[in-house]
Structure 1
Amino acid sequence: MLYGSEEDEHERPTIHQAFDTMFDNNDGFPFMVGGSTSRITHLHPSTIQIFQLWQVYLNNVNPLLKIGHAPTLQNQIVEAGANLSHIGKPLEALMFSIYLIAISSMMNDGVQTTFGTSKSVLLARYHEASQSALINAGFMRSCDLMTLQAYLLYLLSAGRYMDPRSFFCLIGIAIRVATRIGLHRDGAQFGLSPFETEQRRRLWWQLALLDKRIAEMTGSAITALSSSRADCRLPLNVNDTDLYKHTKEPPISSSCVTEMLFCLTRIELLVAVAPSGARPEPSIVRNMHNSNSDTSVPPSTSAERSKKPSSFHALEDYCAYIETKYLKHCDTKIPIQHFTLMMGRVSLYKLRVVDFICRRIPASEIPDKEREALFLIAVQMIECDDEIYTIESLRGFLWYTHYQAPMPGFIFLISELRHRTTGSLCERAWKAICSNHHNRGMIRKVTSPMHAAFGQAMLKAWNAREQAELKHGKTVEPPELIHLLRRVYSSKGMASQQQTGFTETSEAQLENSSLSMSTAVADVERETASSDMMFDGSMMFPPLDGMGEMDGSRMMEYGETDWSYIMSSEALCGLFDNFTEKQ
């Protein structure tokens, strides 16, 4: 699956061929090198809309990122809104990036109702304005934290719709700027104020999070954490109200739930993974907490665990630590805490699945009990991710999940379902897979080149189930996803066979087969376009080279691109070859 079968493409990963098909040859670099500054005051929304967008940001984005001190920034925005023609360039860049990510976090109907304009129009407007504002602020030369904050928000908004390979390079700019101004070094050791030190920590770790995630998706082993020799400590577990600009003593990190709950959970999950790969390395967390005295990793206490590999001890201890330190305190009545709980559970399931994959042991060679447990964990991973999309109070946070599709669980289940063909757990797995495809909007893109990476494996798994049921005199109704995949692949197979398998095929036959395939693809897209999904599938970005009309053929689903991370031998040790049973 990692490499194509054509001889001339033997050295080129299939996933990169898929990227090439989805995106044109124009890198669409969003900032003209040497571009001139421009006046953009007229592109600001009205004062009322500025405050509306700020409130959306506070509700949907700030709880997940915490890259700025909200009380201080709010005062600056209120002051700026009173005189838009005299805003400092760093603040103006940050304001436009806030507009952009606020709109990106909303659903179409919410944007139309609140602002009286379609989401696509506002995205295009604020995307262009954000680029201009960043150029005006000299974002690649600036040493201002506010400018770098603006660039990070821009990347989080626009990056979802770029070729991940281009996106990874743009993140590299942010990391270079960050290391140039020393964000990777902890400010406390250089005598910086507690307030500035904390702001620098928060920004560095959010940059590191995004950089690592896109590195995984593109199969890169080079990340901010693997190359910068960073010694930046984790942010303190404190609320914004505990931070004061002119205080000389840092606040005491709280042992209770604070506004930093989600961010700290994500950061801890990040540093528990090898900087240059995806395999869990909880010892990294242990070492880090030795230099951060406010937390500690509980030691192993179970004698029974002594029979397991040492890596298993550390991982189980680490998962228990995350549950005890963060997740058990989450109140599901509070949206951000509910989101923290659900995303945390998905990530812990992911760590366990990835840890097994990286052990390079075929599933057929592990004890049945462990294999059963892993299968259940993979099912729970997808079910938990899917539940996020069905909870109304979490809709404002869904923008964040586009970078976090549960693909290790998908891959593991699809492989195992070729052999686990009956039973209640088998049915539960298929239900979870199909539901998640539906709610994440992936079912609308079964014609995407990305599905060439796993569509056939999914069909083989379903075919195996049908054959197993037939042996027992039973039949199973294929779910919508399987119906759609069969139609697309049968049409593609017909065209491929006529073009390569028969030398005497007429031009008319070739034309008919191509029309048949096009018709099947169009039918699939038409049938799924109107489906009622929690995921707002129309939240797609205009092409970056021109920002013209919304072009559905160039839409990108991060749930699909995540397969490159799974199929990267650098990231997951050649996963597919290592954990499937030998055929």
Structure 2
Amino acid sequence: MPFDFDHSNTTESTPHPAPNLLHFIWQVYVKNVDPFIKVLHVPTMSEVIRLSEGGFEKLSPGTRALVFSISLAAVTSLSDADVQNTFGDAKENVVSRFVLGTEKALSQAGILKTTDLCVVQASLIYLEIAGQNYGMRTVWMMSGILVRAAISVGLHRDGATFPNVSYFEAEMRRRLWWHICCFDARISQCYAPETMISNNMLDTREPTNCNDDDLEVNMTKEPTAREGFTDVSFTLMACELRRLCNHILSSRSSLMSSEKKKQAVQHDVLSEIENVRNWTAKKFFGNLETRRELQSSTKSLFNMLLDQLSIIVRDTNIFEKSPPTEERHMTDRSYVRALNHIENMRKWRDEPSMRQWGWVLVNFQQWYALGVVLIHLQTQTWDSACERAWTTVVKTLNEIPPAMMTENPLRESIIGMVTAARQHREEELGRQCCQSESHQIISWMPNIGASISVPEDFCFDSAPDLLAGIFTGEGEIAEQLNIAPIDLVQDPFEGSVYAGRVYSRTNYPSWYLEPTSDFETFEPSFGNLQDLLFCNSLDKGNLGSDK
């Protein structure tokens, strides 16, 4: 547990953010974090930050915890260079200090018995960031405290039902509660078949589609919903994503049953996904003239999250080790969809105009798509397209914070798939080298921690056009790829296998090298990823009979 719940720590002993940096920290939070964690009212919180610059002793324990969590989230969203230039220290050290300060402040604010809305806000912001430091299992466990704290404050009941709750407070409570609901749904995907919060335990209305400027502390009536994109639009889209996830969970047994029944359910769920895509495009993105960069980034991100759900729904049997020949074209299409999704997510994060929001993707890891690609690579004749996919997957896994992999229920399955794909790659490259005229002696991967590399005199065959085979089958909804399709690597020396040079310099991360409890039995674990993400509540015996 990250908290020691030691109330003896004094405020003075807590490493506070420097008062002269609070204005900068707040501006970073408003620009980088607030659009995707919309639980604060910026005009009101700006005044609190101004008071904080005069000393933390003026703040209540709950407000102090909120300022700490804001500081932690803001620093996490910055690049290493920006943190070094601003704080004069490495980002890792600054983040560690703010993590400790936030935990102490939450403990001192009485997180286990709080009725303070600020403490719940601070807890949510903290947990949205804490996965990078502790791993998602710890965050999932701690989310139980967050949900109980929210219920103890009565957030599951709409503020309009309480006569002493103002219109302003009722709207802020709605924002906070529904973000907690979406957070609960997201972090539960790898650990539990059901979310902690069910719809039959709440009557809180979804927040109004409006901007912070439309709300005033002393407002005398309900806010009026705006048309188009607002400060709360991403939260409303996340609510739709949560509803779709619950729909998929409720349909999982049918999606794993007979082919005819599965296709009917697939068509139903995929239609729902496309309906949501069309709804958001019409409701929020009809006009991209106001905050163009944020709107465009949000639209791309949300569509990619819908694509991720589509992959899960379409490819329920992708983890079968050797599909029948007539189903190979289906797995090829699944592979192209998954690889496009991974590359699109990377393009979104690396786009210069979107880098300030790249931290968001840490909370939306594409485990299923990665698994689809790795499974496919284990059976392919290796070429430049396979090498590109392999490099993309390894780089993606390398960039995941180690804590999110070390304590991850999917880790063993991912290691198994990476190992099997790596071994197949080595065998294929070795076979192709033996067929060459050079007959060079090559040592592939002398140990598990070595760099993934290709001989300098090795070049792959021309890449096949993997995208050419995509088509819409009977009863399916045509997929929509949101960004440009993958540019497959092409060999300029067509017909000559060894005429050029190809490099792939990537290293295995630390979580891959650490021992596992079942390191020698990867083969039976190919289904774990599917079980954990898709049908981990199904009875294994029934699952086998359905197949």
**TM-score after normalising by structure 1:** 0.67
Q: Secondary structure at the match of 1:53?
A: helix
1:488 has 2:429 as partner: no
Counterparts of 1:269 and 1:455, CA distance in 2: 29
Q: Summarize the alignment of residues 326-475 of structure 1 with structure 2, pairs less than 5 Å apart.
A: 326=284, 334-358=292-316, 364=324, 371-421=331-381, 426=386, 429-430=389-390, 432-437=392-397, 440=400, 452-461=412-421, 464=424
Cα distance, 1:31–1:328 mapped onto 2, change above 3 Å: farther
CA contact (8 A) 1:277 1:571 kept: no
Flag the 1:456–1:56 CA change in 2: closer, same or farther, 3 A.
same
2:55 and 2:336 map into 1 onto residues whose CA distance is 58
Q: State the 1:136 CA deviation.
A: 2.4
Kindly state the Cα deviation for residue 335 of structure 1 after the two structures are TM-superposed. Answer: 3.9
Matches within 5 A, 1:7-18: none
Task: Give the alignment of 1:8-157 within 5 angstroms.
Answer: 28-32=1-5, 35-36=7-8, 38-40=10-12, 43-157=15-129
Cα distance 1:474–1:193, how it changes in 2: closer, same or farther (>3 A)? Answer: farther
* Alignment correspondent of 1:231: 203
Q: Distance in 2 between matches of 1:97 and 1:418?
A: 43
CA distance in 1, matches of 2:172, 2:102: 22
State whether residues 132 and 401 of structure 2, in contact with CA within 8 Å, keep that contact through their aligned partners in structure 1.
no
Aligned AA (1:198): E
Q: Deviation per CA, 1:209-256: give whole Å up to 9, x if none.
A: 222222223x21342333862232322211100111222322222221
Q: More relative contact order in 1 or in 2 (CA 8 Å, sep 6+)? A: 1
Asked if 1:572 corresponds to 2:541, the answer is no
Classify 1:96/1:347 alpha carbon distance in 2 versus 1 (closer, same or farther; 3 Å).
Answer: same
Q: CA deviation at 1:204?
A: 1.2
Measure, in 1, the Cα distance between the counterparts of 2:205 and 2:361.
Answer: 26
The AA in structure 2 aligned to 1:344 is F
Partner amino acid, structure 2, of 1:410: L
**Cα gap change, 1:396/1:275 in structure 2, threshold over 3 Å: closer, same or farther?**
same
What CA distance in whole angstroms lies between the structure 2 residues aligned with 1:182 and 1:337? 32
Other-structure match for 2:224: 252
Alignment gaps of 5+ in structure 1: 1-27, 282-304, 476-481, 492-526, 532-536, 541-551, 555-562
Contact 1:194 1:250 (8 Å CA) reproduced: yes
> 1:68 Cα shift?
0.7
The aligned residue for residue 471 of structure 2 is none
The answer to whether the Cα contact below 8 Å between 1:175 and 1:207 also exists between their aligned partners in 2 is yes
- Structure 1 residue 67: Cα displacement: 0.6
CA contact (8 A) 2:39 2:176 kept: yes
Aligned-residue identity in percent:
25
Following superposition, the deviation at residue 172 of structure 1 comes to: 0.4
The TM-score, its normalising length taken from structure 2, stands at 0.71
* DSSP-derived class of the 1:216 partner: coil
Matched with 1:284 is none
Range 160-169 or range 418-427, more displaced: 418-427
Which residue number in structure 2 is paired with residue 211 of structure 1? Answer: 184
Using the alignment, how far apart are the partners of 2:82 and 2:374 within structure 1? 36
**1:435 Cα deviation after fit:** 4.6
Counterparts of 2:16 and 2:149, CA distance in 1: 27
Q: CA RMSD in A?
A: 4.5
Q: Give the secondary structure class of the aligned counterpart of 2:222.
A: coil
Q: How does 1:173-184 map to 2 (within 5 A)?
A: 173-184=145-156
| 1:147 CA displacement | 1.3
Unaligned runs of 5+ in 2: 254-262, 437-442, 452-504, 516-524
Q: 1:332 to 1:247 in 2, by over 3 A?
A: closer
2:334 maps to amino acid: L
Letter in 2 for 1:211: D
Tell me how far apart the structure 2 counterparts of residues 134 and 47 of structure 1 sit (CA, whole Å): 19
How many Å separate the matches in 2 of 1:278 and 1:255? 32
| Structure-1 separation of matches of 2:327 and 2:275 | 22
